Structure 1
Amino acid sequence: MYSIRRRASFSPVRLVLLAPASAPVGGRAAAGGFAAATARTRPAMGPTISSRTAKPWALCLGALLGSVGAHAAPPKPAGCLIEPDQVADVGSAVTGIIEKLNVALGERVEAGQSVVVLRADVERANANAATLRTQMDAEVKAAAANLELARQKVVRTQQLVAKDFVSQQALDQANAEMEVAVQKHTLARSQQRIYGQEQAMAQAQLGLRTLRSPINGIVVERYSNVGERVEDRPVLRVANIDPLRVSLMVPITQYGQVNLGDRLAIHPELPGIGTVSATVQYVDKVVDAASNTFRVRLSLPNPDHRLPAGLRCKADWPVAAATAPAPARPTPSSLAPAPVARPSPKAVAQATPPVHMPSPTASGATWLKMSTALARVPAASRASGRHLAAAKASQPISLKFSIALADAR
């Protein structure tokens, strides 16, 4: 059995292993047999040191383990997923036949780059006709010439009226003809603008036959080939992997421990890739009631496309935000036991109660009573007379017992 023996109110706790002998040892006194049996049956639990050397070790281990147990352990790394920052399915707004595919799988594309061309013979012809109409300015020039002639006629009529060669009616007629010429010129210019709008519409219809990438990225999927009909399904998928997006679900108990702009260490589950750093860009303001978690999204730079998307990873939670400040490290001087005043032999003899050693085959309760009695015996008394053998047997203690004692405290 194991018992904890306290020497005095001012002395540290000391662990002593007391066990009955497995077999009686003949020819020895009770105290000697108990000491020999204790020394022989003590289990081997690692290297042992003397009691004087073990006291500082026990105090150091107790202080360290006590300080560790007083603070909460840092949170475990949270599971996360590395995803593309953006994913776009490239489709067509009109029905058509694929005439040409300009990119292949895995090829990098830029925003606005042509990736697919549909057959557009009719649309191209309409665009050419609209362009020609916009270039026809004969009507505008004819209307401008008629307007200039009408203005000159009005001027001459005004001169003739001033000399009384023609009547006022001739002047009114000239003014009316000039007004008609102005309206025709305005109509011709308006028609020219209409032709320009028709050209723009024809070009837009022609542009619908060319599919362009909406983002910068890499072609990751191709759903159709040349000659296939395109209706309401996408043709290509483009993913932007620079930067990457890291998504993780965090328990509600850690809410408020991370803020926008914080940097977290990310460990991708990919051989040959070390720890990378990501920046917090979004913290969910709505908690998922079913799982009692909230979402955190981070941005992970990937300029050389070294990391592929779709990896699982681990995110180290900020230790400073999750644990309390570390306590001050104890100094050797503070861990050293205080000097103990040795009582005189006379005082020890007066204060020492009689202790009777039980037989090796006694019950566990009897040995417990004996250990309790030994806990009240001062050290000077145990070192003399009938307690000398017990004191010698209890001197070597195991370092692991000191650790167990610190854990129990």
Structure 2
Amino acid sequence: MRQAQFIKTFVAAAALAAPLGGRAAPFECLIQPNQIVEIRSPVEGLISKVHVQRGDSAKAGQVLVELESSAERSAVETAKFRSEMTGRITAAKERFEYASTKLGRTKELQKQNFVAMQAHDDVQAEMRVAQAELQDARENQNLARLDHRHAVDLLNLRTLRSPFDGVVMDRMLNPGDLTQYGTETKPIVKLAQIDPLRVEVVLPVEYYRRLSLGMTGEVTPEGLGGQHTATVKVIDRVFDAASGTFGVRLELPNKRGIVPGGIRCQVEFAQLKPPERRLPSPK
């Protein structure tokens, strides 16, 4: 919140100070990472490995942190073994096939009056029980497969991966540290996405109807030189009445990572003409 307020105050003051001459002068702006995330663990555990250091690049999906997971790996192996067990299904299938064959023979014998009706009913009930046992064995195997999938999901929670391509801003915990669950706990790694970057600028309200989404601006980072083309992505529709300004966000491609985040800049809109100043009519 403090950083956001600083950005707003800085660019608003710069916007008010920008001259309104024959062409739109460059406006002061700030280049920020597209997003910053703090990597925390969704479960409590002992940190086993941290694969990145401050300043390292990280690819989307790259493993950043591993928690100790020997118990979870054992649970996965046990669940996998149970999901692949076929003994109960095979035995139940054999009993069902035997009961079906026995029932067929009993029906033939009953037609010839060699078997009483009670015997036929007993064999039929035996076949139904065998059929129910086979169904139960199959359902248990399906349940074991779900248990295996759940165990794999729990194991995956102990491996933290990068959500995007970015750079490591800071590393707060190390192997051997205990990580806690929750948003108020200390993060393990802080990660910033710097491709694309976002450029925040505040303009006087006079420019509001002269600006449009998709318009481009030339951004010059302070102290680095060079111009980079950025595209207008957001135009605020709620103004700041106290300063008479509105916010604009541009997107700056940065595939090679040559432009750092967190730096002041100037942006100039070639398509943006300054508002006309009307002189008071003579009385």
Q: Return the alpha-carbon distance in structure 1 between the equivalents of residues 46 and 267 of structure 2.
A: 47
1:321, distance to aligned residue in structure 2 (A): 3.3
Question: What are the ranges of 5 or more consecutive residues in structure 1 without an aligned counterpart?
Answer: 1-70, 325-409
**Equivalent residue number for residue 229 of structure 2:** 277
1:252 pairs with 2:195: no
Is the CA contact 1:74–1:322 (under 8 Å) kept in the aligned structure 2? Answer: yes
Is the CA contact 2:206–2:275 (under 8 Å) kept in the aligned structure 1? Answer: no
Aligned to 2:210, the other structure's residue is in SS state: coil
**Equivalent residue number for residue 301 of structure 1:** 253
Q: Return the alpha-carbon distance in structure 1 between the equivalents of residues 271 and 145 of structure 2.
A: 66
TM-score by length of 2: 0.85
Query: Which amino acid counterpart does residue 100 of structure 2 have in structure 1?
Result: R
CA 295–320 in structure 1, closer or farther in 2 if over 3 Å, else same: closer
**Equivalent residue number for residue 56 of structure 1:** none
Query: Which amino acid counterpart does residue 241 of structure 1 have in structure 2?
Result: I
1:103 pairs with 2:55: no
Query: Which amino acid counterpart does residue 287 of structure 1 have in structure 2?
Result: F
Q: Return the alpha-carbon distance in structure 2 between the equivalents of residues 189 and 292 of structure 1.
A: 71
Is the CA contact 1:282–1:298 (under 8 Å) kept in the aligned structure 2? Answer: yes
**Equivalent residue number for residue 291 of structure 1:** 243
Partner of residue 142 from structure 1, selected from 91, 94, 107: 91
Partner of residue 209 from structure 1, selected from 158, 170, 179: 158
**Equivalent residue number for residue 73 of structure 2:** 124
1:95-244 superposed matches below 5 A: 95-231=44-180, 232-244=185-197
CA 196–166 in structure 1, closer or farther in 2 if over 3 Å, else same: same
Q: Once superposed, what is the RMSD of the aligned Cα atoms?
A: 1.7
Which has a greater percent of helix?
A: 1
Is the CA contact 2:49–2:65 (under 8 Å) kept in the aligned structure 1? Answer: yes
Q: Return the alpha-carbon distance in structure 2 between the equivalents of residues 317 and 208 of structure 1.
A: 47
Q: Which has the larger radius of gyration?
A: 1
Aligned to 2:152, the other structure's residue is in SS state: helix
1:260, distance to aligned residue in structure 2 (A): 0.7
Query: Which amino acid counterpart does residue 194 of structure 2 have in structure 1?
Result: I
Query: Which amino acid counterpart does residue 303 of structure 1 have in structure 2?
Result: K
Is the CA contact 1:260–1:283 (under 8 Å) kept in the aligned structure 2? Answer: yes
Tell me how many residue pairs correspond in the alignment.
253
Query: Which amino acid counterpart does residue 226 of structure 2 have in structure 1?
Result: G
Q: Return the alpha-carbon distance in structure 1 between the equivalents of residues 149 and 56 of structure 2.
A: 32
Q: Return the alpha-carbon distance in structure 1 between the equivalents of residues 197 and 264 of structure 2.
A: 13
1:275, distance to aligned residue in structure 2 (A): 1.7
Is the CA contact 1:86–1:240 (under 8 Å) kept in the aligned structure 2? Answer: yes
Query: Which amino acid counterpart does residue 288 of structure 1 have in structure 2?
Result: D
Query: Which amino acid counterpart does residue 222 of structure 1 have in structure 2?
Result: R
Q: Return the alpha-carbon distance in structure 2 between the equivalents of residues 152 and 125 of structure 1.
A: 43
Is the CA contact 1:281–1:299 (under 8 Å) kept in the aligned structure 2? Answer: yes
Question: What are the ranges of 5 or more consecutive residues in structure 2 without an aligned counterpart?
Answer: 1-19, 277-283
Which one is further off, 105-114 or 211-220? 105-114
Aligned to 2:135, the other structure's residue is in SS state: helix
TM-score by length of 1: 0.59
Query: Which amino acid counterpart does residue 25 of structure 2 have in structure 1?
Result: K
**Equivalent residue number for residue 267 of structure 2:** 315
What do residues 70-104 of structure 1 show as CA deviations (whole Å, max 9, x unaligned)?
x9533432111001112221110111111111122
Is the CA contact 2:216–2:269 (under 8 Å) kept in the aligned structure 1? Answer: no
What do residues 205-237 of structure 1 show as CA deviations (whole Å, max 9, x unaligned)?
111111111111111211111111111221011
Query: Which amino acid counterpart does residue 227 of structure 2 have in structure 1?
Result: T
Query: Which amino acid counterpart does residue 264 of structure 1 have in structure 2?
Result: G
Query: Percentage identity across aligned positions?
Result: 37
Q: Return the alpha-carbon distance in structure 1 between the equivalents of residues 76 and 271 of structure 2.
A: 65
Is the CA contact 1:258–1:318 (under 8 Å) kept in the aligned structure 2? Answer: no
1:323, distance to aligned residue in structure 2 (A): 5.4
